[in-house]
Homo-oligomer: A and B are copies of this chain.
Amino acid sequence: MIRKHSRQRDAIYDFLQGRTDHPTADLIYLGVREKLPNISLGTVYRNLMVLRDAGLIRTVDVGDGVIHFDPDISEHNHFVCQSCGCVQDLDMKSIDLVKDIAAENFRGRITGYSAYFYGVCEDCLKKQSEQKEKVQ
């Protein structure tokens, strides 16, 4: 639980605000170090988990073995580009419908789900078609 303020935690929180690129702890560490050069990676990890437990940020798992962090705490899903690795938000309607579909044939209680979608992002699709044009 958060009991006191700390410049470090505030800096980490502020760094995340407005970002939609879902950085990893390592990237956050590098970014926050520009304002607080003495901050340590351990402190970054600790505070990210504290902020997560306080419900102020979210962790995002996209199957790459690294935790990503998201300042957007509203219920939404994510997309990972298999070409460039970027993680994007997914504005997904009927997000609860998915849970209902899963619960249909299941005898336990389903309270939620975690999902990520993968494929090729808009930018990489563009680059791919530009490459094709060059070849022709």
A contact set with B: CB distance below 8 Å? 61, 63, 77, 79, 81-82, 88, 90-94, 97-99, 101-102, 104-122, 124-125
Contact = CB atoms under 8 A, between A and B. Distances in A.
B93 A108 contact: no
Tallying the copies of this chain within the complex gives 2
A110 B117 contact: yes
A118 B111 contact: yes
Contacts of A109: 119-120, 125
A118 B108 CA distance: 10
Given A113-B118, A114-B116, A118-B114, A125 B104 contact: no
A122 B125 CA distance: 44
Given A61-B63, A63-B61, A119 B114 contact: no
17 contacts: A61-B63, A77-B102, A90-B102, A90-B105, A92-B102, A93-B105, A98-B101, A106-B117, A108-B120, A108-B121, A110-B117, A110-B118, A112-B118, A112-B119, A113-B117, A113-B118, A114-B116
Contacts of A114: 63, 115-116, 118
A119 B106 CA distance: 11
A39 B106 CA distance: 38
